[in-house]
Every structure is written in C-alpha cells, then in structure tokens.
Amino acid sequence: MSAFNTITILTVAFLVVFLQSSADWLRAWIGVQPDLLPSLMVYAGLSSGLPTLMALALAGGLLADSLSANPPGVTILPLFLTGLAIERYRSLILRDQLYAQLVLGLAASAGVPLLTLLLLLNTEPKPLLSWFSLWQWGIMATLGASVTPLWFSLFDRLNTALNYRRVEDATFRPDREIKRGRA
C-alpha cells in the first residue's frame, strides 16, 4: 500500500487516542471507555504491510500510554501481535465481508485489553480489576467490533477521494488492431 495509507492510518490513530481521552460521556454513562485502536489494527492488518503495522503499534501504543497511567510501551506488543496474526492469514480472510470484519474486530478488541492486562499484572502498581471489569471487557469488545466496518468504509472513501487511482490496463493491443484500407 502507499505511504498515503500509512499516514492516514497514523493520523486517525492520533485522533482516536485524543478522542478516547477527551470524550468521557460514555464512561460517565455506562462506566466503560471504548478502545478503538484494536479495530483500527484490524483494518491495517488486512490492508497494509508489516512496516505500517509496526508504525501503528508503536505510535498508537505510545500515544495511548502517554495519556494513561500505563507504563509507556505496554500497549505496543498486544497491538502488534493482533496486527501480525491478521496480516499473516489475510489471504484466507474475506476482507470485504461484513461478517469477517465484525468477528475480527470482536476478537481484536477483546484480545488487546487482555494481553495488556497480562503485561500490567507483572508491573507495579497493579491495575484496578473487579467483576465489573468483565462488563467493561464485553462492552469494549462489542463496541470495537461494531466500529471495525466503519474503518473499512471510512478508509475506502478517503482512498477514493484523496488518493491517485490505479490506471487499469487498457484492452487496446496494437498487434490486434484491424488495419483497414490499403497497406
């Protein structure tokens, strides 16, 4: 994919982290702050190469951790592992199917917080966990799943609107041209 795609993904990741820290109404309402980076990683894993995945994991992870009490870098590895798994098997995934996007979004949005918590449990101080965390986990996974198709739609529109379109091979072949008239 082009550098345009990578830059767009990173810009969206930056805005997503900003929104997650400044828009607090959902947490005030249902007690859960959604994490949209895993669903973005699903899109990147299905549409970009390894360098973009690495850039998104590094930038997204560091940006999210910088506004949080997480130790810096703790979100990088879970994000990258998610993207790597999707990138590895993307030839087997029906990228354009809504069902595939939802399932991958659900798995990624459920897996990344779990892996992050696993890392955090080995650091000090220990994160706040209770039975309510299961509710938060379920909502995060569901919201992540529902946002994943929106990323596909958004980036497809952005690519169509702002990117150069690939020139299709012409069907005209000079050797098959029918010459009329006298030679």
Helices (H) and strands (E) in the chain, counts: 7, 0
31 belongs to the binding site for other proteins (CB under 8 A) = yes
Q: How far is the CB of 161 from other proteins (least distance, A)?
A: 23
Which listed residue (9, 12, 13, 17) binds other proteins by CB under 8 A?
17
Q: CB under 8 Å to 55, separation ≥6 — which residues? A: 6, 10
Q: How many residues bind other proteins (CB under 8 A)?
A: 52
Tokens (6 digits) for 29 = 């309402």
Helix (H, G, I), strand (E, B) or coil at 145: helix
- Minimum distance from CB of 5 to other proteins (Å)? 18
**Residue 7 CB partners (closer than 8 Å, separation 6+):** none
Binding site for other proteins (CB under 8 A): 14, 17-18, 20-22, 24, 27-28, 31-33, 35, 50, 53-54, 57-58, 62-74, 76-77, 80-81, 84, 88, 113, 117, 119-120, 123, 125-130, 132-133, 136, 140
